[in-house]
Amino acid sequence: LLIVTDAGMTIAPDLEQKVHLIENAVLVARKAVGVEKPKVAILGAIEVVNPKMEATMHAALLAKMNERGQIKNCVVDGPFALDNAVSKEAAEHKGIVSPVAGDADILIMPDIEAGNIFYKAMVFLAGAKVASAIIGAKCPVALTSRADSDETKLLSLALTCLMSE
């Protein structure tokens, strides 16, 4: 089970918005999934910091903010390429040592384009079962795509009900 953000709302999140995305995703992990201290992978195209790639700079800053207690109730690390966020073998092959590497509960996408492509690839190419919701508004809101299945729409409503309790 993976929690992914943001695939449909925040176009190009800045650092502060990514902090809020992490906080909201952690809330979902804890409340709806039962993961008390989720592992959060900040994704980019590569797994090293490159000053010319904003996603990698954000990842390093978010990891440091977590280390210093500014982002709580989770373990944040990055940058990670997708493979080493979800595959221990890929992380080991690249020499990445991190409690998050290969074992992420939450994936923070660099922008809406990456998030939306990932979401649709999982659904249409891998047959993933998904639920989509906006968390962090006054109340949770189910947010589905026109092409989503009835099952996805039902799961999205169920998630919003769980999060509104």
Residues 6 or more apart in contact with residue 31 via CB below 8 angstroms:
162, 163, 165
Total-model pTM? 0.97
Give me the residue spans of the domains in the chain: 3-128
Q: What digits encode the pLDDT tens for the residues 7-66?
A: 999 999 999 999 999 999 999 999 999 999 999 999 999 999 999 999 999 999 999 999
What CATH class is the domain 3-128?
alpha beta
Secondary structure element (H or E) that encloses residue 18, with its range: helix 15-28
C-alpha to C-alpha distance for 106 and 121, rounded to whole angstroms: 17
C-alpha to C-alpha distance for 122 and 12, rounded to whole angstroms: 21
Helices (H), 44-140: 54-67, 82-86, 88-93, 112-124
